[in-house]
Each structure stands twice: as structure tokens, then as C-alpha cells.
Structure 1
Amino acid sequence: MMRRIRTAVVGALSASIVSSAVAEPAVLRGKDAFGSWQGDTPGTIRLIRPADLPKPGATASAANVSRVVQRPASAVPKVPDGFKIALFAEGLSGPRIIRSAPNGDIFVAETRAGRVRVLRPSGDGSKVESSEVFADRLGHPFGIAFYPSRDPQWVYVASTERVMRFPYRSGDLKASGPMQVVVPDLPAGYGHSTRDIVFTRDDQRMLISVGSAGNVGEALGEPAGGLAAWIKAHPLGAAWGGETDRAGVLAFDPEGQNRSLFASGIRNCVGLAVQPATGAPWCSTNERDGLGDDLVPDYVTRVKEGAFYGWPWYYMGDNPDPRHAGERPDLKGKITVPDVLLQPHSASLGLTFYDADLFPPEYRGDAFAAEHGSWNRSKRTGYKVIRIRLRDGVPTGEYEDFITGFVVNDREVWGRPVGVTVARDGSLLISEDGNGTIWRVSR
């Protein structure tokens, strides 16, 4: 009898293991990981490696700009089984980066309107209880950070040309004192305009992302004093001319002093985030256009100080950009390959780490990134929020479709995701600047 019971238990355990294995969706790899919005479904997992990439020009470079339309009355984004999504806020003016204050308020960069707004959630977190303009006439604000992190005394705001800060006490809905300009001269004037901002885990350094001036360094020209002298005098991969201190991440102290180039060769790091478990800074990056539908992958990656990520001379390791072929042989073999390669032209923007308990335990420590959506691809891609899967704090290279449903048809979309943040109650908030809404994902 005992033997029969033991056999039955073993059989049940085996069935449970098989059931668990079947429940995990298959990973789309290589060419199968590429596609368009029609194939996007919450729970779909993708893995793209540098070896999977086509040759430059394998397909023609396409111009396929989406038309943003009013959200259909019945349109609600799609989320995985076990989750629900509901409208949190609407009527906002192009909400872009959103950040959660330690007290639970949600700060929103309304970039086109030149202001930062504060949304106070209701007691159950499901809706907005109050909405106030924290500060306005800020130029083109984007990145928002609280300093120091535990008991913030300042709200920092990064706009295209400068970094500002405002006195802050927990619960302030409006700036309680005058603006101070901390960094007056971020590289600007043309090209990518978003500037995100984070502080390192020890609050000792302020990191600012600055996108490139052009697509692929078209206006570099010859560096003053010649290329050999430039290479000798400057950090690995640093660009010159109109790209000086661009296409990378800059570092300062909290007072805006001790400026340095933290990492280079990152075409447009739109979203910055610090991984809570390790303290490592990460970038959500828009790569270059013009090489075909499936080049060059956007990416989400850890950013290592002093590292060079390839732009504009190489991509995804030692793959030379044909528009700069043979120009920098000294860089070959010195390029850091990004951690997670994404469908090219997805336009990866806001980034956050999930460090709460509302979602299932396997989500804790993973990251979420907002994909604003393609224009340089014949078949539309992006327009979703993805989950970056980590194992023991290390990226596996896989990413998962988490929120989809913003595309209406091949020509029209109603939502373009930009910002992601974890609310104090553990829900995930997502902004989209097509119809000016913020959505809340919960269990």
C-alpha cells in the first residue's frame, strides 16, 4: 500500500512539473522574433542576438509614419491573463516621462506644454484624486528625479538644454520655492531633444542622457587637430563637432559640477533607470535608421562607465555601419554589446524596474520599457509595453510583450506608450502621448 501511495505522489509531482513546463510560452528566436504589430500578444517572448541580424540594405528603408486617431470608445489595451488594465488619467497634454514620488504622488512631464504636473492617486490607487501643475514654463521638460532618494528635498527636471531643480517637501503639489538652474548648458540645438535624469544609488552622481544630433553622425567632419590626436586625447568612442558630449550619458555631482562622459556610442538613450538590486544604471535606447526594416535593433542595456556602444561607426558589436565603413578600425573589438536587443525601429522610451509585491513573485526585479512605435519600417512595430526578463538580477536577453492593443490598423494608432512607473500600491502606470492618457495595470 505504501508503495502505491508513493507512486501516486511521484506521478502527481511529475504531472505538475510537465504542466508547469507547458505553461511557459515558447521563446521566438532569431528571424521568428521579428514581425509586426499583428503578431503582438501579451505573453509572447522574443530573443534576438547579434548573429540573427540581416545584412544592411536587405530590405529598403521605409517611411511609414502612423496617423494618431482618437481612441475608439471600446479600445482598451490588452494585458496578460491574471492582470487587469483600466484608465487612470485622461485629458493630459502629451504626457511623457512619469515618475512616482516616495509619498505616492505621480509626477508627469507634459513636454510640449512645458510643464510638470502632479497627480495624487485616490486611496485605492485606481484613479486621480487631484491634479496640479507643479511648475511650468520649463522649455521642453522630460526627465524627473527626486533628491536625495529617501527623503527628497529637491525635484530635478531635465529639459533639452538644461537641468533645473525645485525645493520640495513630501506632499508638495506645487513648487515651494524658485527654480534653480543646476546645469545651464546641456548639448542641444538640433536633433534628439529628450534628456532623462537619474541619481546613482548612493546619491553621489547625477546621470543625464543626451541623444545624438543626427541619425548616424552625418555632420562629424574632421576633428580639430586630426583624428589621431582626437583618439589620443578623448575617451573611447567619444564623438566631436556637433556631436560633442552627445550620443551618450553624462555624469555630474548633484550640484551640476564635475562633468564627465559616463558612457558613449549610445545613439539615443531616452529612458534611464537604476536597477534597485545592483545599483547599475540602464538605458532604453533608440538606434539608427535607414538600413532596412530589421536593422538596427533598439535595445535595453546596463550602462557601464567608460564603455562604448558603437554609434555611429559600429552596431551590436563589430558590425560596421556601411555609411562609416573603414573610418575607425581602432574601435573594432572594443565595443560593448547591449544586453537586450529589441525589434528594430520600436522606439524604446521610458524604463522602470518592478520592485513591488502586487505582481506575481517572478516579476520582481524585472524591468518594463515603453515602445513608442516605428516610422522607419514597412510593417509597423512597437506601440506596446514590454517586460525585460532577468534571472538573479542579470538580463537573459529575452523580452516579453506585456501590454499591446494601441494600434487600430496598418495606418492608424490611438496610443503611443512613453513613460512607465511603479505606483506605491504596486500597480504599473503607463503614459501614452497620442491621446494623453495614463493606464493602470493591477492584478
Structure 2
Amino acid sequence: MRPLLAGLCLLMTLALPACSKAASPEQIAAGKAVFAANCALCHDASPAMGTFQGPPLFGVAGRKIGGVAGFDYSDALKAAHGRGETWGESNLDAFLADPQQAMPGTQMPVNVPDATDRRNLIAYLTSLNGKAAAATKAVAPVSGNGNFDWRKDAPGVLHQVTVADLPKPFATNSAGNSAQYVAPSANFLPKAPAGFTVSQFSNDLDGPRNMRTAPNGDLYIAESGRGRISVFRNQGGRVSAARETFAEGLDQPFGIAFLNGYVYIANVGSVVRIPIAGGKAETVVANLSTTGGHSTRDMAVSGDGQYIYVSVGSASNVAEGIGKAPKDFIAGHALGESWGSEAGRALVLRFRTDGSDRHVFATGIRNCVGLAFRPGTDDLYCTTNERDMLGDNLVPDYFTRVADGQFFGWPWYYLGDHEDPRQAGVRPDLKGKVSVPDTLFVSHSAPLGFTFYQAPAGAASAFPPQYDGAAFIALHGSWNRAARTGSKVVIARMKDGRPTGEYEDFLTGFILDDRHVSGRPVGVAVGPDGALYVSDDAGSRIWRVAAG
């Protein structure tokens, strides 16, 4: 029996034989550290019962499963709720060890494999009891700026967010506004510019995420939650509608790249490669950090084929609890590299294609979800989801070039020398060394996959020439904003091969109101026919946008 606080007896469907003895202060403190490293990104543990990406966990011990209003629980959690089950030691332990096995279909992406960590975490969660704080009155979101209003989104509308637009931290309360998916009507189509046709290409997928087009024109798609890579074959310059399974049994696959007859796949904790003709997976890079949040790992291959680049997001929102750097750490590591529970996180790594010669390429990038080279250049770009809980309009997400040795601020600074008040005074040595990204998006837009448009010669559905080289970016939309944003595909404007800072709406119409959406774009890829394919993980669809 795992220890609980003295005198606390929980009423559980999975009954305990007796109330456990009190957990020690040291055990609760250890559990709090596990929570900070694994859970704090998505869950509030305070009496304020804040609504983050996941439900608040204050008072979770003894609470009815699936019992927090406003969350789209999985069928398994809803069924447990209907049976009157409550959270206790046994089912918390099983859920934390393997969320998908305990509650199939859950959106919980993190597990805690170590039994001691789980025991300590449960002790900490059980200590979170008492009277919840009264909800604070919401502060109205910033108004009067067209960049911030999704109702003005439409194909062709231009946006530009600048550092001068930044409000002060906590100018608004931190909102909990996770998008609620509503299945669209049978005749629904997203909106594209005049001269383009939008159609549904496929709904034969399970939460499609990242997409990449192979050199032979086959379209590969990562179904991260399913642990599967699917492929739609190129058949004479068009994409076949028949889905094939390329690989399965993977661990939250996301990144896909092609090199020397192999498909490289980035799992949450490793990079593997599989012969493009099919076969056994071979581990190329092992031991990527897997604790905490941010499970997407994307990849890019250098133009000379000598290196692979791998993005690894942070484990937490803003490195809560890592404290000061260990002695001699700063001198022996890359500029802005983090330590403790954030070691090996919030950065871009470079390896030889066989996984050797690990090099920290860039740091301070909270969650670089999309990673790609601009074709014909050595310019590496990434899309980044910035930090939460500073208000509706902080911190802007971004799309930017990334160079060797650059530091982008996380967790101590953002967008230059703007110090995060939650890390005030920790790293004054980094002031003046923080890179400012190229293109800023409305905060909490959640840019994910992107592609630079290049149509194959003679493609039947090729876009007009003015789109050649354009960066198409999927904005997924996030939870930490009172007014909805994202849920669209945009174009980052370029001039002389560099981003101008402006971005233009291309595919819109998914947002229904400030709470509800009919789609959430994730990946974008150009097919052998020249059409743009857009994955939607909320609706488990692939959309096709063609010229004409």
C-alpha cells in the first residue's frame, strides 16, 4: 500500500483495505518535484483550480473521475465517471504508469514509469486537499488590434505582430480555454483564396499529425497517438486515396525524413530508420529526454546529407523549480543550455546520420515543433510554441531561422531582453545574448508543421508561380487565451529569401466561436500533383487544396 496523509480515507470504487499512514514531508516534497517535471505544464495544483490544458489536480484524490466541467474527456474516462468511480491510490498508480492502457483514448501524453516517482507523486497529489479558492474575475482580452481577432481571419488577410506590441506580463489573467471540437456538417469546406479548390482527401486516419513527402512523391503521415506511420502512394502524379501502414508499434512518432533509401522517424525518445522498401527499425539516436511534456520531435536533413537535426521541446512551461545552475555547468555547456529536469530539452540537436557526434546546435527554444531547411539553402527554420500563463498576448509564438550557437531566451528571457518575471534574476549573464525570431504570431497560435512550397515539374494542380518557395505553416491553436486563435494555415511572407515578419491567412474557417472549432491543422505537405495537403488531428482528416 502506498502512503497517504494520516487520517485521510478515500471512498473509491477500487477499494483500499485501510487508510495508509501519513506520507513524510520529504516524500511529499519529492512528489512535488516529480509534478513540476512531468505535470505542471498542463495541470494546476493550486487551490485556485486553474484550467490549463488539463483539468486542475487540487483535490484529485477522492474526486470523481472525469469530474471537472469543460473538458472533453475520452470515452473511457466518461464511462468511469458514469460508473461513479473516483481517483485513489490504485487507479492513479495504474493511470500514471500507462495512461493509454488504463484509460484507452485519453489525451494524457505523459507517463511516470518509475514506481518510486509514482508513489511520491501520489503522496503529493493526495496532500492537495482543502478548500478551493474562489475563481478570479476574468480580465477582458486586449482589443482594438486586428491581429488579435479571429473574426477578421480570411484568405489574404495580412497580420504582423512586433515586439512593440507586447503587453506587460499578467496584463490579463491566464485563461483556460481548450478548443472543443465540433464535427462539421457533411458539406463543410475550409476557405481558401479565390482560384483554389478545397476538398477532403481522407478520413481514414487516427489523429494525423506531421506529414512529409518522400522523394518519389509518396505522402507519409505520423499518427502519433496510434504509434503508426501511414503512407499514401504516388500513382502517376496523383496521390492514391488508399492508406497503407508503413510502420507501427512506434512511440509517439512525429518527425519524418528521407535519406539514402531510409525513412528516418523521430519517436519521443529516439530516432529510428527503416528501409523505404520496408523492414526492421534500426535505432540511430537513443536516449532523447522523455520526461514531462512536449512529446513532438521533428527532424531535418542537411543539404549535403551529412547531418540530421532533431528538435526537443521543454519538459515544462517555464522550468519551474530547476533553480540555479550547478557549479561549473554554465562554463561547460552551450549558451543558454538548461539543467536538471530540463537537461537536453528546449533545443535543437545535430547528429551525424548514424547518430554519432551529438552537438547542441541552438538553445532556449521552448518547443520547436516544426523543423526544416529552406530548399536550396543552408537556412534551417523552426516553428516554436512559446510559454504560457503570462496573459492572453504573451508570449508570441514564432517562425524563425536557427543558426549554430543561437539562444532564444527560454526560460529566462523572451524576444530579446524581456525577462520572464517567474525567472527574474536567475541568469543576468544572458541579457543581451537573446536572439529575436523572424516572424511572430499571435500568442498561443501554436504553429506546428510547415513546408516550403515546391511543385514537381508538370504537376497538374500546381499553385501559381508567386507561391514558389512560400512557407505554409499550420497554426493549431492553443488553450491559454480567452479569445480563440490559430486553427488555420498561413503563409510567412518572404523577401530576398528572408522572412519579413508578416504572415497571410491562406486556409481559414475552422473556428466556430471562442470555444469551438471544426478542425485543427497540424501538418502541411506538397503532393506530387502540386496540391497542398493539410492534416487535421481533431477531425482525423486530410484536406487537399489545389489550384483551379
Which TM-score bucket, shorter chain as reference? 0.7 to 0.9
Partner in structure 1 of residue 176 of structure 2: 63
Alignment of 1:114-129 (within 5 A): 114-121=227-234, 123=236, 125=238, 128-129=240-241
* One-letter amino acid of the structure 1 residue matched with residue 530 of structure 2: G
Q: Kindly state the Cα deviation for residue 62 of structure 1 after the two structures are TM-superposed.
A: 0.5
Partner in structure 2 of residue 378 of structure 1: 482
> What is the TM-score with the length of structure 1 in the denominator?
0.88
Q: Kindly state the Cα deviation for residue 405 of structure 1 after the two structures are TM-superposed.
A: 1.0
* One-letter amino acid of the structure 2 residue matched with residue 159 of structure 1: N
1:184 aligns with 2:286: yes
Looking at structure 2, the residues matched to 376 and 258 of structure 1 have their Cα atoms a distance apart, in angstroms, of 38
> What is the TM-score with the length of structure 2 in the denominator?
0.71
* One-letter amino acid of the structure 1 residue matched with residue 434 of structure 2: I
- Work out whether residues 234 and 528 of structure 2, in 8 Å CA contact, stay in contact via their aligned partners in 1: no
Looking at structure 1, the residues matched to 236 and 185 of structure 2 have their Cα atoms a distance apart, in angstroms, of 29
Partner in structure 2 of residue 167 of structure 1: 275
Partner in structure 2 of residue 256 of structure 1: 355
Q: Kindly state the Cα deviation for residue 363 of structure 1 after the two structures are TM-superposed.
A: 1.4
* One-letter amino acid of the structure 2 residue matched with residue 75 of structure 1: F
Q: Secondary structure at the match of 2:288?
A: coil
Alignment of 1:140-289 (within 5 A): 140-148=252-260, 153-168=261-276, 172=277, 175=278, 177-225=279-327, 229-289=328-388
Partner in structure 2 of residue 421 of structure 1: 525
Looking at structure 1, the residues matched to 200 and 301 of structure 2 have their Cα atoms a distance apart, in angstroms, of 30
RMSD, matched Cα:
1.5
Looking at structure 2, the residues matched to 424 and 390 of structure 1 have their Cα atoms a distance apart, in angstroms, of 24
Looking at structure 2, the residues matched to 280 and 33 of structure 1 have their Cα atoms a distance apart, in angstroms, of 31
Looking at structure 2, the residues matched to 158 and 324 of structure 1 have their Cα atoms a distance apart, in angstroms, of 31
Looking at structure 2, the residues matched to 37 and 121 of structure 1 have their Cα atoms a distance apart, in angstroms, of 36
Q: Kindly state the Cα deviation for residue 49 of structure 1 after the two structures are TM-superposed.
A: 1.2
Task: Render the CA deviation track for 1:376-418: whole Å, top value 9, x for unaligned.
Answer: 0000000000101111211111101110111223322121100
Q: Kindly state the Cα deviation for residue 339 of structure 1 after the two structures are TM-superposed.
A: 0.3
Q: Secondary structure at the match of 2:209?
A: strand
1:87 aligns with 2:200: yes
Looking at structure 1, the residues matched to 364 and 224 of structure 2 have their Cα atoms a distance apart, in angstroms, of 26
- Work out whether residues 71 and 414 of structure 1, in 8 Å CA contact, stay in contact via their aligned partners in 2: yes
- Work out whether residues 202 and 241 of structure 2, in 8 Å CA contact, stay in contact via their aligned partners in 1: no
Identity %: 52
Looking at structure 1, the residues matched to 389 and 167 of structure 2 have their Cα atoms a distance apart, in angstroms, of 14
Q: Secondary structure at the match of 1:362?
A: helix
Partner in structure 2 of residue 303 of structure 1: 402
Q: Kindly state the Cα deviation for residue 31 of structure 1 after the two structures are TM-superposed.
A: 6.5
Question: Which residue, out of 185, 189, 193, partners 1:72?
Answer: 185
List runs of 5+ in structure 1 lacking aligned partners. Answer: 1-29
Q: Secondary structure at the match of 1:34?
A: helix
Looking at structure 1, the residues matched to 454 and 323 of structure 2 have their Cα atoms a distance apart, in angstroms, of 45
Partner in structure 1 of residue 211 of structure 2: 98
- Work out whether residues 141 and 158 of structure 1, in 8 Å CA contact, stay in contact via their aligned partners in 2: yes
- Work out whether residues 366 and 390 of structure 1, in 8 Å CA contact, stay in contact via their aligned partners in 2: yes
Looking at structure 2, the residues matched to 341 and 31 of structure 1 have their Cα atoms a distance apart, in angstroms, of 18
- Identify, as 1 or 2, the structure richer in strand: 1
Q: Kindly state the Cα deviation for residue 198 of structure 1 after the two structures are TM-superposed.
A: 1.0
Partner in structure 2 of residue 339 of structure 1: 438
* One-letter amino acid of the structure 1 residue matched with residue 297 of structure 2: R
Aligned length: 400
* One-letter amino acid of the structure 2 residue matched with residue 282 of structure 1: Y
Q: Which moved more, 1:268-277 or 1:401-410?
A: 401-410
Looking at structure 1, the residues matched to 507 and 235 of structure 2 have their Cα atoms a distance apart, in angstroms, of 24
- Work out whether residues 61 and 293 of structure 1, in 8 Å CA contact, stay in contact via their aligned partners in 2: yes
* One-letter amino acid of the structure 2 residue matched with residue 380 of structure 1: R
Partner in structure 1 of residue 465 of structure 2: 361
Q: Kindly state the Cα deviation for residue 319 of structure 1 after the two structures are TM-superposed.
A: 0.6
- Work out whether residues 317 and 336 of structure 1, in 8 Å CA contact, stay in contact via their aligned partners in 2: yes
1:406 aligns with 2:519: no
Question: Which residue, out of 98, 113, 136, partners 2:226?
Answer: 113
Q: Secondary structure at the match of 2:341?
A: helix
